[in-house]
Amino acid sequence: MRRNKEIRYIASWGLAFAEEREMKKLRNWASKGWLFESFGFLGFKLRKGEAQNIVYSLDYNTLDANELQDYYDTFRAGGWEPVCSLSNIHVFSAKPGTVPIYTDRATSYEKYSRAIVNFKWSGLIFGLLTLIGFAAYYYSDNNGFSIALSQVFFIFATLCLMIALPSAMVYCAYRFRKLRLK
């Protein structure tokens, strides 16, 4: 955790793996006067403010810029204030006792169905690129191609793997959540 007088960055286990735990952690920080402001690298950015007793919740929804205001207004009508959005992840805060955003299994299932889409495709595409890259590396290494070309294929495959593996892990985590809700 990096500290300064007004901003803190705290690590996250990942929303796909520990959503409830992360929302409770943000609530605890808010009670100490550190309010969630945005997502940071592998965690959250908090800003010093007045201590508040609030709960956080999130929604996954891909929206166009012109739909965002109506989307926020819908949540405001239910007592939830938008905190920040990043891609299809939207975080809201409310006073304790506010009706939860998701109250039944069917709507929670839909939430994770929306969350899973991007990770399914990125995991699949980068997984295939990883296989192609390692196959090209193996082929070029064993058939007299230049060492530089072999290394390019190896680096390409490794970079693709660095994207494919986390995407696949997040996809599996959301699939598991969906299966538990069925």
pLDDT tens figures, 26-79 = 999 999 999 999 998 889 999 999 999 999 999 998 888 889 999 999 999 999
Query: Does residue 99 lie within any of the structural domains?
Result: no
CA dist 24 and 106 (Å) reads 23
pLDDT in tens, 96-127: 999 988 888 888 888 888 888 878 888 999 99
Domain assignment of residue 117, given as a range:
105-181
Specify whether the CB–CB gap between 63 and 80 falls below 8 A.
no
pLDDT classification of 88: cutoffs 50, 70, 90: confident
CA trace torsion 180, 178, 126, 88 (10° rounding): -140
CA dist 171 and 112 (Å) reads 10
pLDDT at 182 over 80: no
Last residue of a domain, one of 94, 118, 134: 94
Q: How many domains does the chain have?
A: 2
**In which region does residue 42 sit, left (phi positive, over 0), alpha (psi from -120 to 50) or beta (all else)?**
left
Query: Does residue 100 lie within any of the structural domains?
Result: no
Structure tokens at 70: 């109506």
Domain identity same for 80 and 159: no
Domain identity same for 90 and 124: no
Domain identity same for 15 and 40: yes
